[in-house]
Amino acid sequence: MGRTVALANQKGGVGKTTTVINLGAALASLDRRVLLVDVDPQSNTTSGLGFPKENDGGTVYDALRGEPIAIKPTAFPNLFLLSSTRELVGAEIELVDVPDRERRLAAALDAVKGEFDFILIDCPPSLGLLTLNSLCAADAVLIPIQCEYFALEGVTDLMETIDRIRASFNGRLEIEGVLLTMYDERTNLSRQIVDDIRSHFGPKVYRSVIPRSVRLAEAPSFGKPILAYDIKSKGSEAYLALAAEVIGS
């Protein structure tokens, strides 16, 4: 049975989508079957793998409506996608009176979980119904935190939300790990933030650190993970190292 990990942080721009795509590809390169689930209405995981943001049927939006899903193979071996669409933006309103509305995604993924070693969910930068569905479907949460000022802003709210979901909806939910992203080794600020976050979260912080990288930023515009775009880059090395940690944990 595969392990389902939601990547969540209500603060935007912390590297959730970059990590979903590139950790997924790194795990796939290590012979794991990986499904990426795009639960963000911005649909950046979908477009970052070269797929259109239109609803061509079987998307996450359809899953939340209780309709069949369509899992798409990507151009990267062992890597698959359950795509998003702009229609997701209205899903929270449409589901407000639906029974068990927080478990719609879990029900859809339970049907395919046995086909994959890992399912990675890209959550939106909010703590609404879409993120609630993601956390109810997950076994664990991976929290990306950027190495910038106010890095821990909002993380307390996320941890409280995780505690409430664990108590009310999903007792198995645990913290998979904390990932430091956008690290700039040239600055004292980045080094100080790394020390602060490691002090705050202890052994839950991955040893692997994702660097700030032009190549990482460029890859989605070509619809490719960094391993397919520039395998010799520091970004590729970092995500391969992270994948080895995730597999070994």
pLDDT (tens, 9 = 90+) of the chain, 249 residues, equals 689 999 999 888 899 999 999 999 999 999 999 999 999 999 999 999 999 888 788 999 999 999 999 999 999 999 999 999 988 988 888 988 888 899 999 999 999 999 999 999 999 988 889 999 999 999 999 999 999 888 888 788 889 989 999 999 999 999 999 999 999 888 888 899 899 899 989 999 999 999 999 999 999 999 999 999 999 999 999 999 999 999 986
pLDDT at 204: 95
Q: What is the pLDDT of residue 1?
A: 65
Give burial (CB, 10 Å; 0-12/13-18/19+) of 167: exposed
Note the pTM of the prediction, 2 decimals.
0.96
**Tokens 């390169």, located at residue:** 29
The predicted pLDDT at position 148 comes to 86
pLDDT at residue 97, as a whole number:
83
Close Cβ partners of 213 (under 8 Å, ≥ 6 residues apart) = 233, 234, 235
Q: What is the pLDDT of residue 155?
A: 86
Distance in angstroms between the alpha carbons of the first and the last residue of the chain = 16
Region 3-248: CATH code: 3.40.50.300
Report the SS3 class of residue 43: coil
So where are the chain's domains? 3-248
